[in-house]
Structure 1
Amino acid sequence: MKRKAWIAIGALAIATIVAAGWALEPEIKPVPTPNPSEFEPASVSRGARIVAQGDCMVCHTSATGAPYAGGLPLRTPFGTIFTTNITPDPQTGIGTWSLAAFTRALRHGVARDGHLLYPAFPYIHYTRMSTADISDAYAYLMTRTPVNYKAPDNELLLPLRFRPMLAGWNLLYLHPGPATDVQTQSAEWNRGRYLVDGAGHCASCHSKLDPIGGERSPAFSGGNIDGWDAPALSNLLNTPKPWTREQLAIYLRHGWSAEHGAAAGPMGPVTHSLSQLPDEDSNAIATYIMSLQKPATKPATTGPADADVTRVRQGAALFAGACAGCHSPEAPMMSMGGRPSLGLSSAVTSDRPDNLIQIVLNGVPWKDSHHSTFMPPFAASLSDAQIALIAAYVRADIGQRAAWKDVDQRVAAIRKENK
């Protein structure tokens, strides 16, 4: 284990000792599984909206499993955590959880039986949700189809398998309680802040993490999730074409923007969930996020001058064979579909090549976009060296940006991590 990891775990252990009084939580007694007819249809309907705001089904559904039954592996710096079953199954799900137990989990990160939950479940954000929204989310989940399924055991570093250590983490990062409005801001701004900081838990992906997994300040300055870079949400005025509130709202509910490209990777399912919500939700989120922007600055002078000409030429030949049919300016998809140039994509203009590599390897599935964006995966048809050459060409010729470093090594590493 790396020295930094040991230091982080040591710091967490000290915090746990300080928080020893909160390390053991009482059990909340099980209740008979509620009958779906016990919940008001209006509450269930509101709950569907709230659960979509939180993107709950994506995290709590494995690639081959039933909705909300859990089992999705979440990679963290400390090992792999498998999401839990949140269907109303009484043996393996939350069927015997009362509303009080459900509320405690979202507010304090404590399961019904009293064990502490890992913060991969973003209760530090869900605690901001209103009591009414939590109640409606409970109604919706308790009326789903029960599934008897137990997720695999977590694969974590040995010290972190001792859950009472999470009491120290909570002492440092959990500030429980619902959000309150900022009276000097508009109702739409407050609604956007509530969704972003609460159910949407946007900072969980779009913020850097410290050595023990806490979100670093400032929030929204960019992060990394499942091998994908999550761009800084506070820097949208400093992209090749600055974002507008209207463009961001459309992107959130359609997964595609005419001047910025398509959602891919973990963001794809997020936009799919948001597409199920009323436009007012995506409008409010866009209003709040655009209020967080750093001032626009004069773009740094960048260009392909440092690119390896031979590699760019080789990449151009590969691009012509594998990519130009869709991505050249003359391609029907571009000329008639109004698609943006690759040079505007954050995957091309980013400081790191990781997202472009991930998109080439994995493609963009149909299901990830309400706007039906699609790209086939090339992991099986292109070698690491070929993907690296295409990346070099796209970055230099189309993106007109300085060359990325160590692209070949990143392709090999990302392909290995994906497996």
Structure 2
Amino acid sequence: MKHKRLGFGAAGIALAGLAIAIGVMYEPSIDPIGPPAPASFDPKLVREGARIVALGDCIVCHTAKDGKPFAGGLPLATPFGTIYATNITPDPETGIGRWSQEAFARALRRGISRDGHQLYPAFPYIHFTRISDHDIAAAYAYLMTREPVDASAPANDLIFPLNFRPPVAFWNILFLRKGEYQPDTTQSAQWNRGKLLVDGLGHCASCHSPLNAIGGEQAGKAFDGGIVDGWEAPPLNALGNAVHPWTQAQLVTYLRTGRASEHGAAAGPMLPVTRDLATVPVEDVEAITSYILSIQKPGTAAPSAMTAVAGKTMTPGEARGSALFQASCAQCHGPASPMQAIGERPTLAFSTAVNADTPRNAIQMMSNGIGWHGEDTLNYMPSFIDQYDDQQIADLAAYIRGAYSNRPAWSDVEAMAAKLRKEDSAR
């Protein structure tokens, strides 16, 4: 009888576990609606929604290169394969035109699509769950009044078993903590606004935190830095340890313009974020910077900045890099360059990329540059990936590290340059 009771007990546990598994893996669909008329939305709410969508960087992930805004199709590289961003225009067939506000809110808060399938956590619903009901309604109003675009995203290309969506439910058990942000009454209104924007809408930790083996943010390491699309997202909690510690004014300027006079220019995945933040009220960015500067960890300050040293003994690689620098870089970045004054280009001695632990961002900057984007040319930098091979990129990196930083020389730079060139060409 004892063994039979144990057997029934084990069976009961198994059945209960199966019931829980089915309950979390499968969600009911929410009935489709007829696409709402744009005129049915309050214009004031639509304007508020533009601000919310910009703070959430929605257009950054949901717009493919040369594609229509919000029409999806952008490939998002993950350690598990490629996910393609979906169409969030109000197109009724390929977008969210038949989604009710209820379905939209469930997707943001719980990562569940209108038809009940699990959304992959490349969509940062674990952060969006903190957004208020009003902000969700505003974002919905804004997106549902955009131009509908008939565009289907390519099929995702993920490894087994992640190419099946139901297991994502178990990931949610580990990492999704549902609920609106609750203000900290011991802090100021600006600080609370900043924390809500950084942890919620802005989902900054998604890029600026290391991930674990199953793609979740590592516990206890929020804002310690991460890797996004081949670029380093530097730690947001170490800005006080830069060669020139960041001030709030510099950080506000950087987030709104993509450059800071004593730190450098935004590039890679961060550049479009700054373009979005340029469109929101300055008080939002001031709140973001107030919170970020409040989470700085104590640490060893970076060695003081230096300028290029004439007559310094260089390695063969640095000597080759010096010649390349004089040919291609000195006119903008040389010590006597007029572009440093006219274009507000800081000395490379202050550069986060030049002073980083790895050469990743320096390589990416030299290889890919900063694309031309309209009248604002101050952030422009040409790409050299077609002009220089991996060894030449490595030589340039060796030169600027030795000439403009007091930190140790980087190692295996050419191998990283080759690896990043291959990865970038596949995107």
TM tier relative to shorter chain: over 0.9
Q: In 1, are the aligned partners of 2:367 and 2:384 still within 8 Å (CA)? A: yes
Code of the aligned partner of 2:330: A
Which secondary structure does the structure 2 equivalent of 1:103 belong to? helix
For residues 248 and 203 of structure 1, the distance between their equivalents in structure 2, rounded to whole angstroms, comes to 17
For residues 20 and 301 of structure 1, the distance between their equivalents in structure 2, rounded to whole angstroms, comes to 58
Matched, 1:146 2:148: yes
For normalisation by structure 2, the TM-score amounts to: 0.91
For residues 171 and 186 of structure 2, the distance between their equivalents in structure 1, rounded to whole angstroms, comes to 33
Corresponding residue number in structure 1 for 2:182 = 180
For residues 372 and 53 of structure 1, the distance between their equivalents in structure 2, rounded to whole angstroms, comes to 23
For residues 358 and 187 of structure 2, the distance between their equivalents in structure 1, rounded to whole angstroms, comes to 36
Give the counterpart of 1:349 among 333, 355, 367.
355
Q: In 2, are the aligned partners of 1:20 and 1:167 still within 8 Å (CA)? A: no
For residues 166 and 349 of structure 1, the distance between their equivalents in structure 2, rounded to whole angstroms, comes to 38
Q: In 1, are the aligned partners of 2:303 and 2:407 still within 8 Å (CA)? A: no
Q: Structure 1 pair 368/265, CA: closer, same or farther in 2 (3 Å)?
A: farther
Q: Structure 1 pair 256/301, CA: closer, same or farther in 2 (3 Å)?
A: closer
Give the counterpart of 1:156 among 145, 153, 158.
158
Which secondary structure does the structure 2 equivalent of 1:137 belong to? helix
Corresponding residue number in structure 2 for 1:377 = 383
For residues 17 and 314 of structure 1, the distance between their equivalents in structure 2, rounded to whole angstroms, comes to 66
For residues 336 and 402 of structure 2, the distance between their equivalents in structure 1, rounded to whole angstroms, comes to 20
For residues 170 and 67 of structure 1, the distance between their equivalents in structure 2, rounded to whole angstroms, comes to 29
Corresponding residue number in structure 2 for 1:256 = 259
Once the two structures are TM-superposed, the CA of residue 372 in structure 1 deviates from its matched residue by 3.5
For residues 374 and 114 of structure 2, the distance between their equivalents in structure 1, rounded to whole angstroms, comes to 33
Q: Deviation per CA, 1:121-162, whole angstroms, max 9, x where unpaired?
A: 000000000000000000000000000010100000020011
Code of the aligned partner of 1:365: G
Once the two structures are TM-superposed, the CA of residue 327 in structure 1 deviates from its matched residue by 0.7
Which secondary structure does the structure 2 equivalent of 1:198 belong to? helix
Q: How many residue pairs get matched? A: 405
For residues 189 and 72 of structure 1, the distance between their equivalents in structure 2, rounded to whole angstroms, comes to 33
Code of the aligned partner of 2:390: D
For normalisation by structure 1, the TM-score amounts to: 0.93
The equivalences for 1:5-404 within 5 A come to: 19-216=21-218, 217-299=220-302, 309-367=315-373, 372-404=378-410
Between the two proteins, what is the percent identity of the paired residues?
54
Q: In 2, are the aligned partners of 1:18 and 1:168 still within 8 Å (CA)? A: no
Give the counterpart of 2:411 among 401, 405, 413.
405
Which secondary structure does the structure 1 equivalent of 2:373 belong to? helix
Once the two structures are TM-superposed, the CA of residue 174 in structure 1 deviates from its matched residue by 0.3
For residues 339 and 403 of structure 2, the distance between their equivalents in structure 1, rounded to whole angstroms, comes to 20
Q: Structure 1 pair 240/310, CA: closer, same or farther in 2 (3 Å)?
A: same
Q: Identify the structure with bigger relative contact order (alpha carbons < 8 Å, sequence gap 6+).
A: 1
- Point out where structure 1 has 5 or more consecutive residues left out of the alignment: 1-14
For residues 142 and 67 of structure 1, the distance between their equivalents in structure 2, rounded to whole angstroms, comes to 13
For residues 326 and 301 of structure 1, the distance between their equivalents in structure 2, rounded to whole angstroms, comes to 22
Q: Structure 1 pair 238/71, CA: closer, same or farther in 2 (3 Å)?
A: same
Which secondary structure does the structure 2 equivalent of 1:87 belong to? coil
Q: In 2, are the aligned partners of 1:111 and 1:117 still within 8 Å (CA)? A: yes
Larger gyration radius, structure 1 or structure 2:
2
Q: In 2, are the aligned partners of 1:254 and 1:370 still within 8 Å (CA)? A: no
Code of the aligned partner of 1:30: P
Q: In 1, are the aligned partners of 2:303 and 2:406 still within 8 Å (CA)? A: no
Q: In 2, are the aligned partners of 1:31 and 1:97 still within 8 Å (CA)? A: yes
Q: Structure 1 pair 18/352, CA: closer, same or farther in 2 (3 Å)?
A: farther
Once the two structures are TM-superposed, the CA of residue 18 in structure 1 deviates from its matched residue by 6.1
Corresponding residue number in structure 2 for 1:3 = none
Q: In 1, are the aligned partners of 2:243 and 2:303 still within 8 Å (CA)? A: no
Corresponding residue number in structure 2 for 1:4 = none
Q: Deviation per CA, 1:14-57, whole angstroms, max 9, x where unpaired?
A: x9996442110000000000000000000000000000001101
Corresponding residue number in structure 1 for 2:3 = none
RMSD of aligned alpha carbons: 2.1
Which secondary structure does the structure 2 equivalent of 1:346 belong to? coil
Q: Structure 1 pair 153/16, CA: closer, same or farther in 2 (3 Å)?
A: farther
For residues 16 and 246 of structure 1, the distance between their equivalents in structure 2, rounded to whole angstroms, comes to 54
Code of the aligned partner of 1:326: C
Code of the aligned partner of 1:401: R
For residues 69 and 241 of structure 2, the distance between their equivalents in structure 1, rounded to whole angstroms, comes to 38
Q: In 2, are the aligned partners of 1:206 and 1:222 still within 8 Å (CA)? A: yes
Which secondary structure does the structure 1 equivalent of 2:232 belong to? strand
Code of the aligned partner of 2:164: F
Code of the aligned partner of 1:372: L
- Point out where structure 2 has 5 or more consecutive residues left out of the alignment: 1-16
Q: Deviation per CA, 1:261-289, whole angstroms, max 9, x where unpaired?
A: 11111000000000001110110000000
Q: Deviation per CA, 1:255-313, whole angstroms, max 9, x where unpaired?
A: 11011011111000000000001110110000000000012535469999xx9611111
For residues 297 and 413 of structure 1, the distance between their equivalents in structure 2, rounded to whole angstroms, comes to 31
For residues 221 and 16 of structure 1, the distance between their equivalents in structure 2, rounded to whole angstroms, comes to 37
Of 96-105 and 360-369, more deviation after overlay is shown by 360-369
For residues 375 and 358 of structure 2, the distance between their equivalents in structure 1, rounded to whole angstroms, comes to 24
